[in-house]
Chains A and B, each alone.
Chain A
């Protein structure tokens, strides 16, 4: 209970900001990862329809807490809410709506290695577990025939701050490497067996860029905007895939085929089955109460979601997010229509 009070205290700056913005129609809080595209959507949508949406990018954890306490109209998260978290929500059932796709890329610093390295999930897992310690390890060499791999020590760099990026990456490692699943497991913040922690994408990328022989992971948009070198990862069907926008959308499309009609979308799409699918991808979600107390707000939010899934998706690639596949959007629109019609 006390922790709730503190969570509410954290909400105070957010509330102050809300009060200062004039005539805000909807308020939300949560993940920082999709903030660039959300803020573009909100601003475009306000220009188009006059509906103002205020979003505080305080982190997924804060977003979930505020939604549970009903201090915001919607939350946003890079990881689906756990059953435990859903049970604590004060306003009833919470729905997960995927908004856009993100991906995590493996970046490294190996002077003298000209082209993209190829890595499989098991090998990547063993590198991050500290079981593979040299770049010229036979298991890495076997995947990269003809590449001059140096006899350098591998330095693992990971995120020190809790983050959705870490969640997606460890979710992937846990899916492909049994020893990772049994060891550190998946989470926004795990117990790393080896390596250094950098704060934020920039902390990890900065470290990797400076130290020859290092390997780390950052979110796709950051890697693309900073032109970092990245590895091609082996996907579930055995192909090596680079993190392109199409390969990420393909991951969602192939994973969605296996979802039932009534899925709650609390699903992981790492290691997706598609041949061209990039394996370290994830939805990022907007979280909404199924029965919002205010019907006008529910309608406004449903309209916005619809905009984000149609016109909004076109902006995704320009900001280095991958758009949702058309099949998923269709299903989502039906669910959102139900949201608007609750009252």
Chain B
């Protein structure tokens, strides 16, 4: 049936169909070519270090020994930290804007939150160096370590110099917040009025209505927003490099400096002359690509599960 329709279709339709198909296929093709090129360039390093590349903390360009474990750890931890801080905040902002804010406030606040996404990351980085990091060093870190007596716990131990995993997580949280809140707001607004009215009619308070009827309905969309934020956090380079302290070391403390994969590449690529060094940087790129892919697949799977549960 479909094919007979196609035969009957005009030439214009066929060209149109062909063109859009080509467009659609060009993106996956580009991704595949990119992945191939990166992996091929990374091959010498992956072959030389095997699994040690993923598990070793030794990164020594002078002696040609490369292990990316601290960078992998740093990317995951800083992104996770960013999501932990940004997600509740962003959902709160979105709930306020979609459910409580008077119309005269809704547009300006939504606009300002969205504007956070438009600030270049180097500006975030500079703000991080000159405002956030000194503030953390002088107020937040002493407060956490001394006033709350968390200084002895592994998470907040060690000297508080400022540039740290904590600083990187915080700056990423601010950067991903607009993505999560913007998507969440749109999704909440799209929840049918009947859903809300039904909850209220059953005697729910406003809080119960939002928590019990609106958020579950929108949960897969909210998850989508969080994934978008995560993607941004994993790949962010400039701002993180400027505040994380750039140290190839895994430390349990959030006060300690760390490294991320994107930062390593940005820092070292332009001056890497030795073939193995270049290849190691490419390998870091390949691992970052793979991790982004895996994280996204897991996240999609979560969304899918939430959606299925919602339908049941």
Nearest residue (CB) in B for A194 is B247
Select one of A3, A61, A190 contacting B41, CB under 8 A. A3
| B99 interfacial contact with A, CB 8 Å | no
The reply to whether A191 and B271 form a contact with Cβ atoms under 8 Å apart is no
Q: Which residues of A contact B272 (CB under 8 A)?
A: 61, 162, 189
| B5 interfacial contact with A, CB 8 Å | no
| B245 interfacial contact with A, CB 8 Å | yes
The reply to whether A190 and B61 form a contact with Cβ atoms under 8 Å apart is yes
Name the segment of B13-21, B156-164, B210-218, B292-300 touching the other chain: B156-164
Name the segment of A15-23, A113-121, A153-161, A334-342 touching the other chain: A153-161
The reply to whether A196 and B246 form a contact with Cβ atoms under 8 Å apart is yes
Name the segment of B75-83, B87-95, B225-233, B273-281 touching the other chain: B273-281
Name the segment of B24-32, B127-135, B176-184, B194-202 touching the other chain: B127-135
| B59 interfacial contact with A, CB 8 Å | yes
Q: Could you tell me the distance between the alpha carbons of A341 and B270 in the complex, rounded to whole angstroms? A: 34
The reply to whether A196 and B270 form a contact with Cβ atoms under 8 Å apart is no
Q: Which residues of B contact A192 (CB under 8 A)?
A: 247
Given contacts A64-B273, A191-B62, A206-B130, contact A3 B278 (CB under 8 A): yes
The reply to whether A189 and B273 form a contact with Cβ atoms under 8 Å apart is no
Nearest residue (CB) in A for B277 is A189
Name the segment of A179-187, A216-224, A293-301, A303-311 touching the other chain: A179-187
| A258 interfacial contact with B, CB 8 Å | no
The reply to whether A197 and B245 form a contact with Cβ atoms under 8 Å apart is yes
Given contacts A2-B40, A153-B159, contact A197 B257 (CB under 8 A): yes
Given contacts A85-B273, A191-B58, contact A210 B241 (CB under 8 A): no
Q: Could you tell me the distance between the alpha carbons of A65 and B270 in the complex, rounded to whole angstroms? A: 10
The reply to whether B60 and A190 form a contact with Cβ atoms under 8 Å apart is yes
Q: Which residues of B contact A191 (CB under 8 A)?
A: 58-63, 248
- Distance between A176 CB and nearest chain B CB, rounded to angstroms: 17
| A58 interfacial contact with B, CB 8 Å | yes
| A323 interfacial contact with B, CB 8 Å | no
The reply to whether A60 and B271 form a contact with Cβ atoms under 8 Å apart is yes
Q: Could you tell me the distance between the alpha carbons of A164 and B271 in the complex, rounded to whole angstroms? A: 8
- Distance between A90 CB and nearest chain B CB, rounded to angstroms: 15
Bits for A213-247, please: 1 = Cβ < 8 Å to B, else 0.
00000000000000000000000000000000000
Q: Which residues of A contact B43 (CB under 8 A)?
A: 2
The reply to whether B257 and A196 form a contact with Cβ atoms under 8 Å apart is yes
| B37 interfacial contact with A, CB 8 Å | yes
The reply to whether B245 and A196 form a contact with Cβ atoms under 8 Å apart is yes
The reply to whether B267 and A3 form a contact with Cβ atoms under 8 Å apart is no
The reply to whether B161 and A163 form a contact with Cβ atoms under 8 Å apart is no
Given contacts A187-B62, A190-B61, A191-B62, contact A210 B134 (CB under 8 A): yes
| B208 interfacial contact with A, CB 8 Å | no
25 CB < 8 A contacts A-B: A2-B43, A5-B37, A6-B282, A58-B270, A59-B270, A61-B270, A61-B271, A62-B270, A82-B273, A153-B159, A161-B267, A185-B63, A188-B61, A190-B61, A190-B62, A191-B62, A191-B63, A196-B161, A197-B245, A197-B246, A199-B246, A206-B129, A210-B134, A210-B137, A211-B137
Closest CB pairs A-B (n = 5): A162-B271, A197-B246, A160-B246, A59-B270, A191-B60
Binding site for A on B (CB under 8 A): 37, 40-41, 43, 58-63, 129-130, 133-134, 137, 159, 161-163, 241-242, 245-248, 257, 263, 266-268, 270-275, 278-279, 282
Binding site for B on A (CB under 8 A): 2-3, 5-6, 58-62, 64-65, 82, 84-85, 153, 155, 160-164, 184-192, 195-199, 203, 206-207, 210-211
Known: A2-B41, A198-B163, A210-B133. 10 other contacts (CB 8 A): A3-B41, A185-B62, A187-B61, A188-B61, A189-B267, A190-B60, A196-B163, A206-B130, A207-B129, A211-B162
